[in-house]
Structure 1
Amino acid sequence: MKDIVWLMKKIYSVTFRKKKNIIMYFGMPLVGIFISFLVYGGSGGTMLKVGIVNHDHRPIANNTVQFLEDIKNVQVVNLKESEINGQLTEGRLDCVITLEEGFSESILTGNPGNIRIVSIKGAQITGYVKSYLYNYLDNLIVLGKAAKGDQVTFDKMYNHYKQADFKLTAESLKDTSKSKDMTNQTIGFLIMIMLFSAGNFSEIIIKEKENRTYFRLLSTPINSRKYVLANILVNMTVMITQIICTLLVVTKVFHIDMHVSFWKMGAVLIVYSFVAVGLSLMLVSFANSSSSAGALQNLVSTPTCLLAGCFWPVEIMPKAVQKIADFMPQHWTLETIQKLQEGQQFGSLYLNFMILFAFAVAFFLVAVYKFSRNSNVRSFV
């Protein structure tokens, strides 16, 4: 145990002697948070600005204007006819509703008309306003028909309608898509950085074989198993620190709701860290030099992260590519997190964890086999 601790201290000392490595290992994971804010930071709700030109000024028209003013996320501005074109073309208003003379009479007689909706932003804007306005006018038309065109009777019925015992209550649901998207993109970027970090630490093995440090260490009571175990432990501790730092910044500094508890998110990512270490050791075992090891890491890490959906949802990719993603451990990590965000219990996702552990075991077994077959000292002379 003392030898393993000494080796770990040595690896820490060599790695973090350079300050740029501290920034790379613990600063780069935070870049994903800033990227998420750039992508999703300005995607909040907006206020719809509606201009009203009321030429009628009768009770039904005035009540219609009042109804529009009471709609949430709609700001009503009273206009003159001459101001319509200027307000629309300058983008100050999204649409303008004009109530012509005779509007109230048309509603009272059950033949709605004398109303115009103008917008240069298309049906996306007018459709939203019409969905509220036309439903309200339909109710008034029913009252007008029941009153048979009599204004006094209509006013009585309308007052009863407004003061009805039954009430429609509306509850606003919090939009969680934005925070979930930010969390998933941040975690996707962290997964990629963890993979590169694991690759860099595993590459130390082959670098020390090239400079003969590895073989000098083996001439001491230290054996190859202790050396590799120390490398794995350093790798794991650095990645766990990356996970904790990133999650703390996400939750405590930026106050992003991950919709998953801190410990559950950390547990999933720690399981993935075993996969990352196993994959990096496997790639190093196939390399004959540090340069080839670095090339293998880049060749495998970046494309697999792209295909697994670390930077965009897998659903937007073609079906054939989605099937390929099933063979990526990054995909299973992200899928596990998404299922936890949907409210599934941690224990019910045992299959996902078994698949991740299977990836890790397979990578470690391949690495052990290759290392045992590639022990020729002359390969690094």
Structure 2
Amino acid sequence: MNSLYIAYNMLRRTLLQKRGLLMYLIIPVGVVSLIIGVLGQQQEHQVDIAYINMDRGPLGAHLVQELTGLPDYSLKEQASSADLKEDVTKQKVGGAFVIPEGFSETLLQGSAPQVDMYQLSVSEATITLKITLNSILAGYQGTVDVQRKQGLQDKPLQDAVEKTLTQLEKHQVKARVTDLNLYVNPNMHLVIGFMLMFMMGVINNTISVIMEDRRMRTMARTFTAPVRSIEIMLGNFIGSFFVGTLQVLVILLITRYVALYDYGLPFFSQFVMLEFFLLASMGIASAVAGLVKNASNMSMINSLIVTPTCMLGGCFWPISLMPEWMQKIANFVPQKWVIEAIQLMASGQSLSHMWMHMGVLTLFALILLGVGTVILRPEDAEVG
């Protein structure tokens, strides 16, 4: 019961005040929703492609028509090579290609023509465009080879190829792509990362309350009563955990049902993993609160704990981009485990498969809470 009284007192001093409501609910929800609006949504859009068709035969025109019919590209014809290269250089288009003069004649002769591509940098759009071009060219070569094997040459060969292209343009056989939702939104790590960073702000809440109790000698007076240090630490733990849980609920409800962001996993599974991370954050807060003896050191907490662990844990960029030795160090921060678990569940795995991640986060909480209980001295006043 002593711990519950201390927890209620912390709740009254933080969340039930205007400043606490603003810091722990309104600002986190607003910032995460803004990130979702700017970066989080995975939108489908066409890629602008510039082209020049110097061919006078049927195959060049058919190639342009086939690419125009694809939903991924928006083709823009240019009059000269200078205009085309300028569009690529100024990034007005995602890429460009040039159908050379004599394109049809080269194919009808059984040779493979060269279609020049221009790009400022390698991207998904230019790679898929190159694959699409190679696929269409391979189809043309196969059609010509079949007709040539039948003994057709010159005009009869051209007429047969044109008839084949006419049938191809009808697209009587189509492929249907089934989206199994097995991919993860590449921007989701930013949304989850900033959410975790705000959740770790509860660490500052816990430590600032303990610092105030030390300065006002409230903790020393509490310790003179039949209240042990473990009860004091557990009360602060429960109070901060309740504030963090309410923050998680509000953020998830707003981002899911107001901002309509699709995390790709059930609400309950995501909520459980974030609660385990919250436990680990409370463990960190308990350990740091026992170490910090002066309120002037509070400013060092963000620079020494919150920001570095978020960077190592993959909140700002994927862990796979870091050097191997940093990836190994990332195993010692809780952010890495919760982001990895959420991404695995978003790709199709269930919450029951995340037992190792939940176990690691629980160990973080238990060990650090134990350390904080041992090093906390409620009878000491603030140093400085």
Instruction: Indicate how the Cα distance of structure 1 residues 344 and 25 shifts in structure 2: closer, same or farther if over 3 A, else same.
Output: same
Q: How far is the alpha carbon of 1:207 from its aligned partner?
A: 1.4
Aligned residue number for residue 257 of structure 1? 262
Which deviations, in whole Å up to 9, do the C-alpha atoms of 1:31-52 show, x marking residues without a partner? 2442354445697543333445
SS in 2 for 1:95: strand
| TM-score, structure 2 as length reference | 0.80
Confirm or deny that 1:108 pairs with 2:108: yes
Q: Distance between the aligned counterparts of 1:377 and 1:225, measured in 2?
A: 15
Q: Distance between the aligned counterparts of 2:289 and 2:173, measured in 1?
A: 69
CA contact (8 A) 1:202 1:231 kept: no
Which deviations, in whole Å up to 9, do the C-alpha atoms of 1:11-30 show, x marking residues without a partner? 33332465333222113433
Alignment of 1:232-243 (within 5 A): 232-243=237-248
Confirm or deny that 1:89 pairs with 2:106: no
2:173 to 167, 172, 180: 167
Unaligned stretches of 5+ residues in structure 1: none
Aligned residue number for residue 291 of structure 1? 296
Shifted more, 126-135 versus 295-304: the winner is 126-135
SS in 2 for 1:326: helix
Which residue identity does 2:175 align to in structure 1? T
Q: Distance between the aligned counterparts of 1:90 and 1:365, measured in 2?
A: 62
Structure of higher RCO (CA pairs closer than 8 Å, 6+ residues apart)? 2
Q: How far is the alpha carbon of 1:159 from its aligned partner?
A: 4.2
Aligned residue number for residue 323 of structure 1? 328
Unaligned stretches of 5+ residues in structure 2: none
Which deviations, in whole Å up to 9, do the C-alpha atoms of 1:194-215 show, x marking residues without a partner? 2221332233123112112334
Q: Distance between the aligned counterparts of 1:330 and 1:259, measured in 2?
A: 19
1:358 to 328, 346, 363: 363
Which deviations, in whole Å up to 9, do the C-alpha atoms of 1:209-244 show, x marking residues without a partner? 211233445566776555444322221111011111
Identity %: 20
Which residue identity does 1:89 align to in structure 2? E
Confirm or deny that 1:46 pairs with 2:43: no
Alignment of 1:1-381 (within 5 A): 1=1, 7-16=6-15, 19-30=18-29, 31-35=31-35, 37-39=37-39, 44-53=44-53, 56=56, 59-60=58-59, 62-76=61-75, 85-86=82-83, 89-90=86-87, 94-95=95-96, 97-98=98-99, 100=101, 103-111=103-111, 117=116, 119=118, 121=120, 125=126, 127=130, 130-146=133-149, 147-149=151-153, 151-152=155-156, 155=159, 159=163, 162=167, 167=173, 169-171=175-177, 173=179, 180-217=185-222, 226-296=231-301, 298-371=303-376, 374-377=377-380
CA root-mean-square deviation = 3.7
Q: Distance between the aligned counterparts of 1:128 and 1:237, measured in 2?
A: 53
Larger radius of gyration: 1
Instruction: Indicate how the Cα distance of structure 1 residues 142 and 332 shifts in structure 2: closer, same or farther if over 3 A, else same.
Output: same
Q: Distance between the aligned counterparts of 1:274 and 1:311, measured in 2?
A: 22
Q: Distance between the aligned counterparts of 2:220 and 2:182, measured in 1?
A: 55
Q: How far is the alpha carbon of 1:258 from its aligned partner?
A: 0.8
Which deviations, in whole Å up to 9, do the C-alpha atoms of 1:129-166 show, x marking residues without a partner? 63244223213321441352164466457646837999
